[in-house]
Chains A and B, each alone.
Chain A
Amino acid sequence: MKKKKNIEDFLSDEEFVRWVKNPDPELDIFWLKWLQLYPEQRDVLMKSREIILSMKFKTHAVKATVEEQSLDHILSMNSIIKTPRKKDKTSTSFIFLKVAAIVIVLLSSTYLVNDYLSTPIKIPPQAKVSDIIKKNPNGRQSKIRLPDGSIVWLNAGSALSYPSVFTDTERVVSLDGQAFFEVVEDTVRPFRVNSLGLTTTALGTSFDVNAYSDQNKEVKISLVSGKISIENKSLKTENITYPGEQLIYSIKDQKSSIRSFDLKEVIAWKEQILYFKNASLSEVIQKLERWYGVEIQLKNRPSKNWNLTGEFKKQKLKRVLDRLSFIEDFNYKIKGKIIEFKF
C-alpha cells in the first residue's frame, strides 16, 4: 500500500474510483486498512471521494422510436447489397430458381407440421411500417441507404421520406429538394420518386431530381444511366430513354420539355464540388446559402449582370468568397452566419 500525497493521487487511482462508485466488501476492507496505515490522509481521502461523487455528467436520452426505427432499417439492409450490382441474366434467373425452390420446401414443410400438430401455429403480426424522414439543413449533405439497398445522395436543404420497409409491389419515396438516386435493380418493384406533383419511375438506374419546393419554379430530372418515366398530376407521361437527357417541368404552366444536360453541372454537388455554369447573381447566392448554411444580404446592386462559371472542390466559404469577390469585384463582410456583399 503506497502512500498518497495529493487529491489527484487518489482521483487517478482506478481502484479508488471503483471503491467510491461501486463499493464492495473487499474494497471496503482494503481502504479501511489503508486509512489505519495513513490516518493523516483521512481528509484528503474524504475530499477526493466527495469530488468524485459530486461529478455530474450531462447525459442524452434517446427516444424509443429512434432505436426501433434504426433497428428496422439495419435489419432491412439484407442480402440485396451483397449481390453485385452488375449481374447478367443467367445468374439472376438462377437466383430466382433457388428462391422458388426454397419457398416450395418451406411451404411443404409447414404443411407437414400443420398436419402433425393440431395446435395452431402462431403467425407473428405484420411488422409495422413507419416512415423515415431524413432532412438536411442548409450546409449539410448526406448519403442514405434505402431499405432495398438503393443509395441516395441528399443535397443540402433537402428532405427525403421513405418507409422503413418497402412493399412487395413498389418502392416509393418523396423528395423536397435535390437528390441523386442510384437504384438497385428490381424488376418486380418499380422505384418511384414523388416530388412537387411529378412522379419519376425507374426500374434500376441512376438519376438526379432537383425539386426544391421553396424555389417553386421548376423541377429538373436528369437521367444518368438506365431508363425512367415521369408522370405529372394530370397523369401525362413522358419517357426519358437516353442517358444525358433532362426533363424540365415548369410548375407555373405545368409544361415540360426535354433537353440535354451538362452531366457535371447536375452531379457535381454529389462529389462535393460547388459548380457554377453561366450563373446569375441570384443563382450564386441561392447556391451559396444552401451549401454553407448562411444568409447573404446585398447592400446594393451590382452594375452589371453576373455570368459566372467556375468550380470549387471542398473549399471553405472564405476561399470561395475571396475568389468570387476578386472576379466580380465586390467587397464582403462576414457577420456570423450573415454575409454582406457591397459592390
Chain B
Amino acid sequence: MSDMTLESQHSQPIAQRRIGLVFMLRQDPFAFAAVVVLVLFALLAVLGPTLLGDIATSMNLRARNAPPFELERGFWYLLGADALGRPILARVILATRTTLLIAGAAVLLSMVVGSVLGLIAGYRGGFLGDAILRLTDIVMSFPSLLLALVVLYVFDPAITNVIIVLAITRVPIYLRTVRAEVMEIRSRMFVTSARVTGAGPVRLIGKHILPMVFPTIVTIMTLDFAFVMLAEASLSFLGLGVQAPNVTWGVMVAEGRNYLSSAWWLSFWPGLAIALVTMSLNLVSNWVRMVIDPVQRWRLEGKGEK
C-alpha cells in the first residue's frame, strides 16, 4: 500500500513534482503561513544575534516593564520591555537561535533513540524487548529534577548536558508509541503476505512499519517541541542550562512569571513565539503528510482544480 505510493511518486519527473508542491502549498493558506513563519524564525536564528549587537542585552531601568505598543522609545520597544528595561522584541529575536538549537537537538535525539529502541522492542520482542520496556518504566518513574541535579553535580553545566537531560526524559513516549504500532502492524503482517514473500526485517521496517508510525511520531515531536522549550527553563533556574546574558524563550517566559499580574507582556511574547513555532511545525507536518499520502492528496489538488 504505502510502498506503492512512494514508488509512484518517485516515478514522477522531479521538476513536475516540485512545481506541484509549491502550487499545492499556495493553495493551503495555513500551511503557507506556517512555512513563512518557520523560514522567518530560521532566518532570525541565523542572523539575529549578529544583527542585534547589544540592543537585546543592555539594560535601561527607566524603561523597566515598559508596556507594549508605545513607540516613543523606538521600534525595538514595540513589544514592551522586560524587568531590566531590555526591549522584548530584541530579546525574543536574540533567544531564537539558542532556543531552537536546544529544543531541536533534544527532540531529535529523544525521537531517534526512542524510535530505534521502540522498533527493536516491538520487532524483536522477547528478552531484549522486555528489558527495553522495563528500562523505560524506570526512566518514566525517575524524578527528572533528581536527574538534573545529578548532572549538575557530576558534570559541567554545559548546554549539551541540558539537551541530554531533556532528551532522556522524553525517550519513553517515542519508544512506547513506536513499539505499540510495530506490534500492531507486525501482527497484521502475519495476515498479509509481506512476511511470507520473504521480505527481510530492514525492508519490512522501512517499507511497512515506518510509514505507518511516522505520522504519529511527527505529531508528538512537534508538540514536544513546545514542552522541551519550557522544560529547559526550569533547568536554567537550577543553574543547568543557559545563563545570563544568554537567554531562551523558555527562560523569558519563566522570568515573566513573577510579573504575570502586573506586566503580562514579559511572558506573553516569548510564549507566543513558542506557540507559533509549535503550531507552524505542526501545520507543516500535517501538510507534508497529506502531500505524501495519496488518499489525502486529492484534498489539496482538488481545490486547485476548481
Same assembly = no
Interface residues of B (CB under 8 A from A): none
